[in-house]
Every structure is written in structure tokens, then in C-alpha cells.
Amino acid sequence: MPEEHILVLGGGPAGSAVAIGLSRMGYAVTLVGEPRPFDAVEGVSERVIQGMKSAGFERALEVVGGASPRQVTWSGSTNAANTEHLVPRQAFDQALLQDLAQQGVRVLRGRVLSCRVTEMGHQAQVRLEAGGEQVVSAAFLVEARGRAAPAAGIPRVKGTHTVSLLQYWQGPEAMPCTAIQSFADGWAWLARRKNGRRYLQLTLDVAGTQLPPKQGLSDWCRERFAQLEQAEPFMHASEPVGEVYARTSAPVLCEQSAGANWIRVGDAAMAVDPLSGNGIFQALSSALQAPAVVNTLMRHPERAALAQAFHEARMEGLFYRFARIGRDFYAQEQQWPQTPFWRARSQWPDTCPMHEAITPEQVTTEWRPVVREGLIEQAHVVVTPDQPLGVWHLNGVRLAPLLDAIRAAPALPPEQVLSHLLGEEKAVLMTRWMRQQGWL
Ligand code: FAD
């Protein structure tokens, strides 16, 4: 059983998922977390709920609402086909800390004041919620403090400067629901919880918006919401409460997200535009394979370069995938294509299509890092333009040797080549599947 101590900074979805994953591997894990200082709700899809279940978020899931209807008014038309689950983040993050303690992670509730590299690893100075300060040392550090994680000296790719203004409203109890509406210089996300609390959020361009001084911000937001047809049911019989909360929401990718004894996960490694609605999903995705990367860095330092390359390629792949999803959704808004807000976002990060038709000449077999039994190792995989990290196996059947065998016998039908390796029936199915992928 591994004995080294691992320190996780930040108890959001990413830090919690990695801490639980490492604890399940037998590592001694301490997580230092200060739950979010502000109230926010976020929407997630059903697949995120499933991801949270497998990550071990039992108590946290108890505070997540059921599926609520969502109306989207985009490019002049309204669609009400979708639903989303509302996550009250303060309560959720509090419950996550309980899940962690339940699953064997040592939890220190408090604020990380500083963290420095030492000969033995890392040392963090923590101001405890209960009072006093404590120093925590560990051989390995997982940085999961979200967008607040310090990143000095790390090269970063950034999208257009975006700010989200969140205004709370209170009204009578009502059925939970959400809505999205675009407007000439941004878009709004509106949410209502059963307890009558409303969360009205404007997402705007930082450079292109003349915001009023702080004391005028609440009235300014109120006026902006009053111009939105979708906001009417959320504002009805309700009043703004408290101050407007501003959050930076520009996409950002750290180009270095792992070293010999540290790793960045979740928003600390890559944060996406909230329009993609996938922030928590990407945080969980980035955390899913991180324990295998950490395990490899600790157990097999000779494979450090491979493990780092694996993690960084995954972070970059996720970042660009969600950036392009966001870009295509922005591009669907056709009412103001030339205004700075919409023009910048419908063209960033590039013009690469989300999905390309694959042709056999684009498909190669290569050696790439994969996860096997909790470790990163090299494997022979099939690489395509839309699967740049490679496809290793399909239901346990390794694909690269099959493709190589087909290519080594161009005169024979692929079914015949594969039948020697898989048997006749499976060879027919596999050939059909490879053709569907555009590999043959
Ligand atoms: P976080 O959830 O940010 O967790 C980091 C944790 O570290 C927090 O608990 C924080 O309090 C703690 N922390 C920070 N600094 C310290 C410190 N010094 N000491 C101790 N603890 C610290 N995603 C969705 O899926 N759906 C949405 O609807 C959605 N809406 C969004 C709207 C906006 C405006 C923004 C900006 C983001 C939105 N997101 C949404 C994205 C989502 O919030 C993040 O992607 C996700 O929470 C990332 O998880 P994480 O664990 O990496 O970071």
C-alpha cells in the first residue's frame, strides 16, 4: 500500500474526485478546502449526475435538484426541449467535504494562504476555519483551487475576456426552471429554485461593456433584465437582494499542467466558457484519469515524461473540444454577427470543425500513453483527426494490430484478414465498425 502523503488544494468537483480516486488507490490524502464564499447555482445535465455518482459524491448529490425545464431563446427562436439539474454550489461544496471525510480523505476546512516547494515536496500554510493556522507537508501536490489557483510562470492560452454578473432575486415559491436568452452584447442565464430564490446572470464582454460604478450596478442589471422577454417570469413578484457578484468566465488553458510531483486538475488546469454548460463535466473528466497520472509519477518516476504528456494532451483535448462547442453555439446566433461580442466568440479558438468525415489516409497506428490498471503506459493505438489521443481497444479487442494486419494484406478483403484473428462472425462486425469510423 502506498505510504506517501498527497495534498489536494481545493474541494470543488475536481479536487474532490481526485482525492477520492487517490484514497481508493490507498494513498494517504489530505484535502484543504474552503467552500465557495458566494452563493451560485449551476446547471448540469443527466450525464454529469451519473459522473458524480461514480466519483462517489453521495451526500453532495442529495442537494442537487431534479430535472427542471429549460427554455433557450437563441437567434430569435425559442426551444423548450431540454432540462437541466440545478446545483446550489455552496451547499453542494459543503456536502462534498462530508463525502470526502466519509471516503477516508483527511479534510482540513480552511484557506490555503501560501504553498511552497520544499526538498521533501510541498508545504502549505493553512488558516483553519475553526481558528488558528497549520502547516501541511506532502510528497505530492494536486492543485484544484479552480480559477483562483495561482498560475504565475505557467504559459496560458486565453479566450476573449468575459465577465458574468450574477444578481440574486427573491420571490414566492415556484417550480424550478431555467432559461437562456441572447442579446446584442451578450447572453443571460436565468434560474429559479423551489424556495423562490432566483439567480439572474448576464455574460458580457469585458472590453466592450461600460459598467456603472459599484453602487449603480444593481439598478443597471435590473434594467438589462427588464429588456429580456425570458426574464419576465423570473422577475415577476420578485425583488433583487444583496449585491451583484462578478465572476470572470473567460476560457483559459494552462499549457503546463503536471510536473514530477504536482498536477493541476479542473478549472485550475483549464476553464471553459460557461456557455458550453460543461464546467462541472470537464472538471470531473479532468479528474477521472488524474489518479492514474499521480500514481505513475509516484510509483514509476522513469515514466514521468509519459504521464505528464498524457495529462497535458488530455487537458488540451478537453479544452479545445469545449471551446469549439462554445464557438459553434455562439455562431448559431445570427441576429448580431458583426457586433464585437458575437464576432469574437463565434471565431475563437479556430475554424477547425467539431467533427470531420474521416478518410483512411488520415488514420495511422502509433504508440501513445494510455491508462491501464491505475498506471500510464505506452500502447499501440489508432490515431485519427478526431481521436488524436488514440483509440486503444473496443470492448477489450485491441484495434491497432487489426488495422495493421488489414493494411499488410491489401489484396485480401478485410473480413478475411480479421477472421483469422477474431473468428468469422466478429470479423464481419469489426470490419463494419471500422468502415463506419472511416478507417477502411
Ligand atoms: P471549483 O469548483 O472552482 O472549486 C475550487 C474550490 O477551491 C472551491 O471550493 C474554492 O472555494 C476552493 N478554493 C479556492 N481558493 C482556495 C484557497 N486559497 N484555499 C482553500 N480553498 C480554496 N459549470 C457547469 O457545469 N454548469 C454551469 O451552469 C456553470 N456556470 C458557470 C457560470 C460562471 C459565471 C462560471 C465562471 C462558471 C460556471 N461553470 C458552470 C463552471 C464551473 O463552476 C467550474 O467549471 C467547476 O466548478 C470547476 O470545478 P473545480 O473543482 O475545478 O473548481
Distance, CA of 35 to CA of 16 (rounded, Å)? 12
- Predicted local confidence at residue 4, as pLDDT: 65
State whether ipTM is beyond 0.90: yes
Q: State whether the beta carbon of 28 lies less than 6 angstroms from ligand 1.
A: no
Nearest partner of 217 among 238, 256, 245, judged by Cα: 245
Q: Locate the domains of the chain by residue range.
A: 5-65+85-154+253-329, 162-248, 360-437
Residue 2 pLDDT > 80:
no
Q: State whether the beta carbon of 88 lies less than 6 angstroms from ligand 1.
A: no
Residue 45 pLDDT > 50:
yes
This prediction has a pTM of 0.96
Locate the ligand 1 atom nearest the alpha carbon of residue 32 and give its number.
Answer: 20
Residue 305 pLDDT > 80:
yes
Residue nearest to atom 31 of ligand 1 (CA): 274
User: Are 378 and 369 a contacting pair, CB within 8 Å?
Assistant: yes
Model confidence pLDDT, tens digit, residues 366-380: 999 999 999 999 999
Distance, CA of 63 to CA of 45 (rounded, Å)? 15
Locate the ligand 1 atom nearest the alpha carbon of residue 281 and give its number.
Answer: 25
Residue nearest to atom 4 of ligand 1 (CA): 12
Query: 299: exposed, middle or buried (C-beta count within 10 Å: 0-12, 13-18, 19+)?
Result: middle
Mean pLDDT across 33-38? 88
Nearest partner of 275 among 228, 234, 331, 229, judged by Cα: 331
Locate the ligand 1 atom nearest the alpha carbon of residue 41 and give its number.
Answer: 28
**Multiple choice CATH, 162-248, 2.30.42.10, 3.30.9.100, 3.30.70.1060, 3.30.56.10:** 3.30.9.100
Cis peptide before 349 (omega within 30 of 0): yes
Model confidence pLDDT, tens digit, residues 161-181: 999 999 999 999 999 999 999
pLDDT band at 1 (very low <50, low <70, confident <90, very high): very low
Mean pLDDT across 304-310? 97
Residue 276 pLDDT > 80:
no
Average model confidence (pLDDT) for the chain?
95
Q: State whether the beta carbon of 113 lies less than 6 angstroms from ligand 1.
A: no
C-alpha grid cell for residue 391?
Answer: 483509440
pLDDT band at 3 (very low <50, low <70, confident <90, very high): low
Q: Best substitution site from 267, 286, 322 to test ligand 1's pocket, by max atoms within 8 Å of Cβ?
A: 267
Q: State whether the beta carbon of 414 lies less than 6 angstroms from ligand 1.
A: no
- Predicted local confidence at residue 208, as pLDDT: 85
- Predicted local confidence at residue 287, as pLDDT: 87
pLDDT band at 34 (very low <50, low <70, confident <90, very high): very high
Fold exhibited by the domain 5-65+85-154+253-329: FAD/NAD(P)-binding domain (3.50.50)
Q: State whether the beta carbon of 267 lies less than 6 angstroms from ligand 1.
A: yes
Distance, CA of 245 to CA of 219 (rounded, Å)? 13
Q: State whether the beta carbon of 264 lies less than 6 angstroms from ligand 1.
A: no
Give percent above pLDDT 70 in the chain. 99
Model confidence pLDDT, tens digit, residues 146-163: 999 999 999 999 999 999
Nearest partner of 291 among 63, 18, 5, 1, judged by Cα: 18
